[in-house]
Structure 1
Amino acid sequence: MISKDEKQVEQKDIVSQNHEEDDVEEDDVVDDTPGAGGEPEETKKKKKKKKPKKKKAQQSDPPRVGLSKIFTNGVYPEGEIQPYKDDNAWRTTSEEKRYDERMAMEDPEITYQSIRRAAEVHRQVRQSARKHIRPGMTMTEVANLIEDGSRALVEENGLESGIGFPTGLSLNHCAAHYTPNAGDTNVLQSGDVLKIDIGVHVKGRIVDSAFTLNFEPTYDTLIEAVKAATDTGVRESGIDVRLGEIGGAIQETMESYEVEVNGKIYPVKSIENLSGHSIGLYQIHGGKSVQLVKNDDQTKMEEGEYFAIETFGSTGRGRVVESGECSHYAKIIDAPRVPLRLTSAKSLLKSISSNFGTLPFCRRYLDRVGETKYLLALNHLVQQGIVQDYPPLCDAKGSMTAQFEHTILLRPTVKEVISRGDDY
C-alpha cells in the first residue's frame, strides 16, 4: 500500500514528466506496482529520449545538394494541372479514369515521380542560371554552371539518372543545337539573345524545357511573343487533339506580335521548320512532331504520352538552315548493324553506348569520359548511319531568335505541365 506522502511525490513526478514530454517517448512505462518483479517497493520510471529529428537539407547557391536529401520521402512536386477542354472535360471526374490514374501512379514503368524529380532539378537549376548568368562569361562557363548543377541535383548515376541532352546555349540568329566544344572562346555580350535549353532525365524519363535570356530591352517583345506562343501550345494540347491544329494556334499567337528595332518594325515569325515533339523512354524525339505553323497533320495526341511543346520565333525569314561546327550527336535507336572498319570507331561506339545509350551527347561529354582524338571515329559512325549529327540551326545573320518550351504529360484525368515554375 502506498502512503499519502509517497502519492504526493508520485504526483509531482508526473507533473515534472509532463513538462519534459518533448524528451520522452509516448510509450514510456511507469511501473508503480509495489514489489513488482521482486524489485524494491518504489515507483519505477523508464525514460527514453527521442532521437533528434534529422533536419531537412537546404539547397545551396548555386544549387549542388542532391534532391533526395531535400525530398527525403521520395515525393516530388506536381507540375501545373490543367483540366482537359471540350470533349475531354469529362475525364477530370470520370471514376474509370481516376482508376486508370491510380494504376498509373503505382506502375513502376510509368513512374510519375521520376519525371517530377527531373522537373524539380530543372526548376532549381534554371532559376539559379537566371540569377548567375551575366555578360562577360564564356559560353563554356555558362554550360558548366548549368550542367554541374544538373548533375549534382539529379545525383547522376550512369544511365539511371543524369543530363538528358547537351545544354543548348544558342545565341542571336542561331536558334538551336549549339553548345560549346572544347576550346570555344565565345563570350556572352550584353546585346545577345540567349536560348537556354536544359534536359534532365531520371530512369530515361526526360524533362525538356527552355527559356530565353536577354540583358537589354530591345528584344523583350520577341521573347514575350515566343513565351505566349508556348503557353498557347500547352493550353491547346490534349488527348485526341490533332497536331496540325496546335501548330495553327501557335502560329496565330506568335505572329500577332511585332518588334521595333532602331525605328524599324519586324514581324515575329514562327520558325516553320522547327517543332515540338513527343518524348520516348531514353529518346528525346519520340516520333510525333508539333509544328509551329498551321498544317494538315491529322495525327492525334494520345493518353499517357509526353510532349515537349517547344516554340521558336524570329525577326528573320522564319526558317533555319544548318550552319557552323557541330557539337550535338546521338546514337540512332534503330541503327543498322554494319561492320566498322576502324578499330577506333568500334571502341568509341562501345563508349557511347555505355555512357549515353540513345541519349544525345556532345563533344565535351566525350572529353569528360576520357575519350581523346575521337573525331575521325565519330565522323565514321555518322557516315555509317549509326550516330546522327545535329549541327547548329540558324536563321539569317542579323536576325534574332527566341525559344520557350515546356514538357507536358497527358494523364488519364488531367494534363500536367511537368516543367512549369514560378519563372515561366
Structure 2
Amino acid sequence: MENLENWKIAGSIAAKALQYGKGLIKPGVKLLDVAESIEAYIYNEGANPAFPVNLSLNNIAAHYSPMINDSSVFNKKDVVKLDVGVVYQGCLGDTALTVDLSGKHDKLVQSVEAALAAAIAMIKPGVSTNLIGETIEKTITRMGFKPIKNLGGHQMKENNLHCGTFIPNYNDKSKIKLEKGQIIAIEPFAAPRSSYIYEKGDPYIIMLKSPHLLYEYGISDEFIQAIEPFKHLPLSLRWISKRLPLEKWLPAVKELSDKKAFISYEPLCAEKNDVIVQAEHTIIVDDPSIILTLA
C-alpha cells in the first residue's frame, strides 16, 4: 500500500494524543486548555490536527470544540467524548473515546467499546457494511442501549477525512462491500433513549468548500498563508486567531461566510436529558486488518 508508513505514523500520533488528552480531563479543568494542550502535543510530534479537538459533553455527540476565550470547565457529572484527528503528510488518523467523570455510565461506555471491538474483528475485504452495522447494533442493544443511527464510520483518503464508503451503526440494508486497502474509521455511538441526533447551536468548526475560493474571492495573501495548513480539512477560528490579529482575519472570514464558502459543523445533539457515548479507531482493510490507532 502506498504511503503505508505515513498512515501508521498518523495513527500512532493520534492514539498517543488521545491517551494524553484522556489524562487531562478532570473536573474544574477548562475545555479550552485541554483542547489546546492536545493540539500542541500533535504539533510537537511533527504532525497537524486533522480537525479541532472535539470535547462534546453529555447529550452532545460530536462537533463541539472550544471557541476563542472559551471559559467552560468540566464538572464531575460530565460524560465527555474526546475525538482526536491527526494529519501527517496528508495521511490521517481519527480516534475517540468517552470519559465518564460521573462514574454512573460504565455499562453504556462499555457498550460502544464492545461494539467497536466486535466490528473490528469482522473487518476484511468483501464484508458488507450493513453486516458491520448489524454487529454494532446487536452488541449495543444486547447491553440495553440504542445505537445512534444517523451517525457512523467513514472512509478516509489523503487529506479527505470523510469520503466514499459509509459504515453504519445499524443494519441499513446496504450491500456495499469493503475493499482491500481502504482506510476506514469505525465509530459507534450509543445512548439510553435516543436513536437519532440533530444539529443545534453555533458552529465552532468550519471547513472551506474548496481552497480555490480563497483566490476566486480575492482574499488577502496574509489570510491565505495563515489558513494554508488547514485548507483541506476542518478548522477552528481560534487557530487562525493565533496566526493573525483580529482585524486581519475577521473581514476575510466574514466575506467567505457571506459568500457561503464554508461548510459549518454545528454540534450534534440528542435529547436534552439523554447521554451519548462514543468509541472510534482507524483501520486498514486487509486480512487480517490493521488497527492504526492503537496506543
TM norm. shorter chain > 0.5:
yes
The 8 Å contact of residues 198 and 208 in structure 1, kept in 2 or not, is answered as yes
Tell me the equivalent position of 1:410. 285
What per-residue deviation string (whole Å, max 9, x for no partner) do you get for residues 352-407 of structure 1? 65221212111111112215254564354345453211111010111101010000
Max radius of gyration: which structure?
1
The 8 Å contact of residues 173 and 398 in structure 1, kept in 2 or not, is answered as yes
2:86 is the alignment partner of 1:200: yes
Deviates further, 221-230 or 119-128: 119-128
2:194 is the alignment partner of 1:302: no
The 8 Å contact of residues 15 and 95 in structure 2, kept in 1 or not, is answered as no
The 8 Å contact of residues 173 and 394 in structure 1, kept in 2 or not, is answered as yes
Provide the TM-score with structure 1 as the length reference. 0.65
2:19 is the alignment partner of 1:127: yes
**Unpaired runs of 5+ in structure 1?**
1-103, 105-109, 156-160, 259-267
Equivalent of 1:315 in 185, 188, 192: 192
Matched-pair identity in %:
26
Q: CA deviation at 1:304?
A: 1.1
What's the C-alpha RMSD, in Å, of the aligned pairs?
2.2
What per-residue deviation string (whole Å, max 9, x for no partner) do you get for residues 184-239 of structure 1? 12110011000000011211110000001012321111100111111122122221
Tell me the equivalent position of 2:29. 137
Report how many aligned residue pairs link the two structures.
Answer: 294
The 8 Å contact of residues 382 and 388 in structure 1, kept in 2 or not, is answered as no
The 8 Å contact of residues 25 and 74 in structure 2, kept in 1 or not, is answered as no
- How far apart, in 1, do the equivalents of 2:222 and 2:198 lie? 29
2:253 is the alignment partner of 1:378: yes
2:170 is the alignment partner of 1:293: yes
- State the secondary structure of the residue aligned to 1:254: helix
The 8 Å contact of residues 79 and 102 in structure 2, kept in 1 or not, is answered as no
Question: Which residues in structure 2 correspond to 1:220-299 (within 5 Å)?
Answer: 220-258=106-144, 268-299=145-176
2:243 is the alignment partner of 1:357: no
Question: Which residues in structure 2 correspond to 1:54-203 (within 5 Å)?
Answer: 104=1, 110-153=2-45, 155=46, 161-203=47-89
Equivalent of 1:398 in 258, 273, 276: 273
The residue type equivalent to 1:222 in the other structure is L
Change (3 A) 1:299 1:191: same
Provide the TM-score with structure 2 as the length reference. 0.91
The residue type equivalent to 1:361 in the other structure is L
What per-residue deviation string (whole Å, max 9, x for no partner) do you get for residues 111-148 of structure 1? 22112222222232222223332110011011122111
The 8 Å contact of residues 42 and 49 in structure 2, kept in 1 or not, is answered as yes
- State the secondary structure of the residue aligned to 1:140: helix
- State the secondary structure of the residue aligned to 1:308: strand
The residue type equivalent to 1:199 in the other structure is G
Larger RCO, structure (CA 8 Å, separation 6 or more): 2
**Unpaired runs of 5+ in structure 2?**
none
- State the secondary structure of the residue aligned to 1:287: strand
Q: CA deviation at 1:336?
A: 7.6
The residue type equivalent to 1:360 in the other structure is P
Q: CA deviation at 1:349?
A: 6.8
- State the secondary structure of the residue aligned to 2:104: helix
Tell me the equivalent position of 1:327. 204
- State the secondary structure of the residue aligned to 1:188: coil
The residue type equivalent to 2:280 in the other structure is E
What per-residue deviation string (whole Å, max 9, x for no partner) do you get for residues 285-326 of structure 1? 022211111112111211111001011111232211111121
- State the secondary structure of the residue aligned to 2:39: helix
- How far apart, in 2, do the equivalents of 1:196 and 1:348 lie? 32
- State the secondary structure of the residue aligned to 1:286: strand
The 8 Å contact of residues 170 and 196 in structure 1, kept in 2 or not, is answered as yes
